[in-house]
Chain A
Amino acid sequence: MHSDDEQNNSISRRRFLQTATVAASGVAGISAAACRDLGIAAREYSPLATQARVTILHASSYDKNLSDLLRQGMKNHPLNVQGKRVVLKPNLVEYHTAHKINTNPLLVAAAVDCFKSLGASEVIIADGPGHQRDTEMLLELSGLGEVARSERVRFVDLNTDSIHRVATATHLTALNELWLPETILNADLVVSMPKLKTHHWAGVTLSLKNLFGVIPSVRYGWPKNVLHWHGIDESIVDIATTVRPGFTIIDGIEGMEGNGPLHGETVSSQVVVMSENLAAADATAARLMSIDPLRVKHLGYMRNLGEPLAERRIVQTGERLKDYRREFRLIDSFAHLRA
């Protein structure tokens, strides 16, 4: 299904980021008019594929052997991570005993194990929490610190990492450039690992919105308020097209509905979603929540950029979507997203 070029594209980030700001390949799938509407230079962004493969896996709980499950799912996504540096970017936001907010650390541990077994030379867990400056506290309360220790991998606080300027690949915001952490820029493969959640400002928070966490707070603040003033959905797209992670693993074993990302209610949705294409994975995840992905503003932008969001452009593997579709509660301001 995927050409060699497409596979290479997802694991040659350093080369991509080195060249993305000075030159660019031609754009497939974006009309000039659409580009003008989006205010982007047509040659600056090339979608990964005209078609994407998304895998839905069943997991009834976090007690299962998730490493085996992920390895099984990876058979549908033949990434070559041999000798590569893989950075896992979970969703680590805040910790409250009453709400399941963060990507479950057991799934992160399984991903570490999975990528190590696939031959990665180094696996790093990294995030830059947007509200909480006390990352040490957050790591301990969430259980992610214990995972890093037991799996013997580094955790990097992206909020205070060394940073470098990168021109944005798209220009939906007026930012035009982003300062990105060295750990992200030096990765061969960045894996977005969000939780399946609704979001009170963006409708949903999935693989793409999760990338707010790679934006360093030392430069953008706690919260990363610069992104809010430039437009949340527009910022999501500019970050995603610039950082361009090569893979996503969405934690939908327990999701969150209603007033997410912090104060919603837990939904036992019992799925893990995987793909090389973050926009396609998010479209599938939205459908699992009975949300029309094309009504989500930032996903609509991604569709206009040529990303394969339509069901006919997504090759669905693993479990059947219709068997796992749940009607996630939406707050009134996002009732229009209902599929």
Chain B
Amino acid sequence: MESMSSQSGEQFTSSLQRARAYLSAQQNADGGWGYVAGGLSFAEPTCYSLLALATPAAHAPNQPETRALKWFEAHRNPAGAVTFEGDRSHPDNWGTILACFTLHHLNAGPELCKHYQRYLLASRGNRISPQAAAPLKLNGDLQAWSWAVGTASWVEPTAYALLALKALGLREHERVRTGEAFLLDRACYEGGWNYGNKEVLDVRLEPMPTNTCFALLALQDFRRSHAVIQKSLAYLERELAERQSTLTLALGALCFDVYDRPVDKLLSSLTARQETDGSWRGNAHLTALAALALAIAVEKSNVFRIQGPLS
């Protein structure tokens, strides 16, 4: 990343500290995090909060992590998946994928992580019939990952799964190859991704920045000269220059960083949106993602950077 002024550095450091203080204070008694203060604990804010609270210098689990592992233990079904509060009969499909990525990254809960990995590899989105796939102009045979069990594959959960499997060293696994093919198949014609449909009834759909960030992160070790990657990065540059939100700024920074593009301006815009309580919009998910983005500048770490040689 580009050099950073000492003023920016101090600003980012202070912002990150306040974000972490906010997240620490928001952990529920059950060990998880809700999206908003006091809200029901879910896998996504729990995973991102844990990742955001982990500092590179720490060698032992921090207290929030120890408590969160209890939440994961208490929310596991016999198939090894994360479950929703009060419902052990239905797995939280995408929550399990995120949990796998998170625990592996933190080197925490190795037994849980193994369960999640097995679940992740066994989980796949439904095949889409040729009749249903035709008006969508997509390859319905590509079974990647779905949000919920028994439904079709979509971009964001597939991106999470690819990030997890690649982090686990399974880049050559056939599910990874299928997942990458799925993302390429669902890319919008002019670059970028939306939730997962590029066309409906002869109308070409537009990309969305958040999905584009996740897909690009998942494909960071793919051939960077590939037209889809190039067009998608160009789309994201245009989009972030035109309109911004907490989510797009944080994800945009995390994404551009792994593609070796400057992120300081995005981080400055992000810190300008921080609230006095240290949060972004009083939301643990957004605050954790913002903290992870700031860690790029402050701690030279990017939670989504896949280690190892790139294509």
Contacts and interface: CB of A to CB of B under 8 A. Distances in A.
Interface of A: 96, 131-134, 136-137, 140-141, 157, 160-165, 179, 200, 217-223, 225-226, 228-229, 259, 263, 331
Contacts of A331: 201
B243 A162 contact: no
A222 B87 contact: no
A134 B248 contact: yes
Nearest to A161: B39
Given A137-B247, A162-B34, A222-B156, 16 more contacts: A96-B206, A133-B210, A134-B247, A136-B245, A136-B246, A137-B209, A160-B283, A160-B285, A163-B40, A200-B200, A200-B201, A217-B147, A220-B147, A221-B147, A221-B151, A221-B157
A137 B87 CA distance: 32
B279 to A, nearest CB: 13
B86 interface: yes
Interface in B207-252: 208-211, 243, 245-248
29 contacts: A133-B210, A133-B211, A134-B208, A134-B248, A136-B281, A136-B286, A137-B209, A160-B35, A160-B36, A160-B285, A161-B35, A162-B34, A163-B84, A179-B87, A200-B201, A217-B147, A218-B44, A221-B146, A221-B147, A221-B154, A222-B147, A225-B146, A225-B154, A226-B148, A226-B151, A229-B126, A229-B151, A263-B200, A263-B203
A132 B285 contact: no
B39 A132 contact: no
Interface string B138-177: 0000000011101110101100000000000000000000
Interface in B33-50: 34-36, 39-40, 42, 44
Contacts of B42: 160, 218
B6 to A, nearest CB: 31
Given A132-B208, A219-B84, A259-B203, A225 B246 contact: no
A140 B194 CA distance: 19
Sorted nearest first, the 6 A-B pairs with minimum C-beta distance are: A221-B147, A162-B40, A160-B35, A225-B151, A137-B245, A136-B245
Contacts of A132: 208
A228 B148 CA distance: 12
Contacts of B245: 134, 136-137, 140
A335 B288 CA distance: 49
Contacts of B209: 134, 137
Given A134-B247, A165-B86, A331-B201, A225 B44 contact: no
Secondary structure call for the A interface: mixed
Contacts of A225: 146-148, 151-152, 154
| Max chain B Cβ within 10 angstroms of own Cβ: one of A219, A225, A263 | A225
Nearest to A141: B243
B195 interface: yes
B240 to A, nearest CB: 11
Contacts of A200: 200-201
Contact of A222 (B35, B40, B154): B154
B131 to A, nearest CB: 13
Contacts of A219: 84, 148
Nearest to B40: A162
A160 B243 CA distance: 23
A136 B247 CA distance: 8
B266 to A, nearest CB: 15
Interface of B: 34-36, 39-40, 42, 44, 84, 86-87, 94, 126, 146-148, 150-152, 154, 156-157, 194-195, 200-201, 203, 206, 208-211, 243, 245-248, 281, 283, 285-286
A132 B146 CA distance: 16
A41 to B, nearest CB: 21
A261 B40 CA distance: 32
Contacts of B148: 219-221, 225-226
Contacts of B200: 200, 263
A179 B90 CA distance: 12
B231 to A, nearest CB: 20
Contacts of A164: 86
Contacts of B154: 221-223, 225
A218 B93 CA distance: 11
Contact of B87 (A131, A165, A218, A221): A165
B248 A137 contact: yes
Given A140-B245, A222-B147, A222-B195, A134 B86 contact: no
Contacts of B84: 163, 179, 219
Contacts of A162: 34, 39-40
A259 B201 contact: yes
A197 B139 CA distance: 30
A225 B150 CA distance: 9
A263 B135 CA distance: 15
B287 to A, nearest CB: 13
A133 B36 contact: no
Contacts of B201: 200, 259, 331
B249 to A, nearest CB: 10
| Max chain A Cβ within 10 angstroms of own Cβ: one of B36, B84, B151 | B151
B125 to A, nearest CB: 9
Contact of B210 (A96, A134, A141): A134
Contacts of A222: 147, 154, 156, 195
Nearest to B45: A160
B180 to A, nearest CB: 21
Nearest to A96: B206
A157 B203 CA distance: 28
Contacts of B285: 160
Contacts of A131: 194-195, 208
